[in-house]
Amino acid sequence: MPNIKSAKKKARQSVERRARNMHYKSTMRTKVKRVRKAMSSKDASGARAALGDAVRYIDIVSSKGVIHKRAASRKISRLSKAVNEMRS
């Protein structure tokens, strides 16, 4: 356990940040799963709507630094490609 005041504060902050980041990541994964579920049920319009929602949220998570910007770009690219291939 930290003894110095600033170390105690840093420990509190890291616990709060970890909880916040886990929430963002979990929500992001859920939104991606919704896209995949719509794709597996051959629902093109539902997949497109879910994709828009997922892309917006991935951008938010990336801007907050929860995931790296290249990881976000990769996720968006792969999801978009899958939805577009489903359509054609």
Instruction: Quote the pTM value.
Output: 0.88
CB distance 32 to 75 below 8 Å: yes
| Structure tokens, 62 | 């990336």
Confidence of residue 1 (pLDDT cuts 50, 70, 90): confident
Per residue in 65-74, pLDDT (tens digit) is 999 999 999 9
How wide is the angle at C-alpha 22 spanned by C-alphas 21 and 23, nearest 5°?
A: 90
- For 5-87, which CATH superfamily applies? Ribosomal protein S20 (1.20.58.110)
The answer on pLDDT for 54 being more than 80 is yes
Is residue 54 within 8 Å of 34, Cβ to Cβ? yes
6, pLDDT greater than 70:
yes
Residue 15: both structure tokens together: 């616990």
Mean pLDDT of 32-50: 95
**What average pLDDT is seen over the chain?**
96
Going from N- to C-terminal start, the domains of the chain cover: 5-87
**DSSP H helices in the chain:** 5-40, 44-63, 69-87
